[in-house]
């Protein structure tokens, strides 16, 4: 398949951990449809899912050369710390599917649960978000803002997502605050992302995708 002209919109494939991430991705796809072509699989699944699709699914394999970015939209939890090396092997394979330049892979990570990222659309706070009870408290707090929210609900998610400028500002603070805890730097690098995944402190990097999309406007 021939390479697209540079003037065309970036082609982005997003792999989502759950239905709420899918709903938020659908908001981004609609909100930024004039500047980016965003695709997501109908099923949920992250690194192994992406690896399989770009190896075996013609709809992905044949478009690898015109894929500009691949995003993984997921929660960071202590149970996944041991998965880092295997995930990075997949990331490196995906990057190499396109030459000069490689495919850009972004990790859109939020500590504990996506509802923390959604709460950042309303206020800045950095609670611990690891235990089941802590996640329940985040959900309860979100329901005070949007009573009809439930995982995967498009209408509620779109309502929340309209406040993304506030979420971007707040999420940037969550990451910059970690510099005092030893975060290697703010730039999106493998070293930084490893640190974020393995320390599991409270943060969200979803703002980086939105910064990228808004810059295209």
3 state DSSP class of 13: strand
Handedness of CA 106, 20, 84, 173 (dihedral sign): positive
Q: Return the pLDDT at 217.
A: 86
Q: Return the pLDDT at 6.
A: 46
Question: What pTM was computed for the model?
Answer: 0.93
Q: Return the pLDDT at 8.
A: 84
Q: 173: which residues sit within 8 A by CB, 6+ positions away?
A: 124
Strands (E), 67-186: 69-76, 104-111
Rounded to whole angstroms, what are the CA distances from 169 to 117, 124, 212?
Answer: 12, 9, 14
Q: Return the pLDDT at 1.
A: 42
Q: DSSP label at 182?
A: T
Tens digit of each residue's pLDDT, the chain (217 residues): 444 444 489 999 999 999 999 999 999 999 999 999 999 999 999 999 999 999 999 999 999 999 999 999 999 999 999 999 999 999 999 999 998 899 999 999 999 999 999 999 999 999 999 999 999 999 999 999 999 999 999 999 999 999 999 999 999 999 999 999 999 999 999 999 999 999 989 999 999 999 999 999 8
Q: Return the pLDDT at 7.
A: 47
Q: Return the pLDDT at 117.
A: 98
């Amino acid at each position: 398949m021939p390479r697209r002209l540079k003037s065309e919109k970036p082609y982005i494939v997003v792999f989502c951990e759950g239905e709420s991430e899918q709903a938020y991705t659908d908001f981004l796809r609609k909100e930024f449809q004039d500047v980016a072509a965003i695709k997501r699989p109908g099923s949920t699944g992250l690194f192994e899912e992406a690896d399989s699709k770009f190896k075996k699914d013609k709809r992905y394999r044949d478009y690898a050369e015109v894929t500009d970015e691949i995003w993984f939209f997921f929660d960071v939890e202590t149970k996944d710390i041991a998965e880092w090396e295997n995930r990075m092997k997949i990331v490196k394979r995906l990057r190499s599917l396109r030459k000069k330049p490689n495919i850009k892979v972004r990790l859109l990570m939020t500590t504990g649960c996506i509802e923390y990222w959604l709460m950042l659309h309303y206020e800045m706070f950095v609670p611990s978000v690891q235990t089941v009870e802590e996640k329940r408290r985040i959900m309860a707090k979100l329901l005070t803002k949007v009573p009809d929210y439930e995982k995967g609900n498009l209408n509620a998610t779109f309502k929340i997502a309209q406040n993304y400028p506030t979420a971007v500002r707040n999420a940037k603070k969550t990451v910059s605050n970690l510099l005092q805890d030893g975060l290697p730097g703010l730039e999106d690098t493998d070293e930084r992302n490893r640190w974020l995944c393995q320390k599991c402190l409270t943060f969200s990097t979803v703002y980086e995708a939105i910064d990228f999309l808004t810059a295209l406007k």
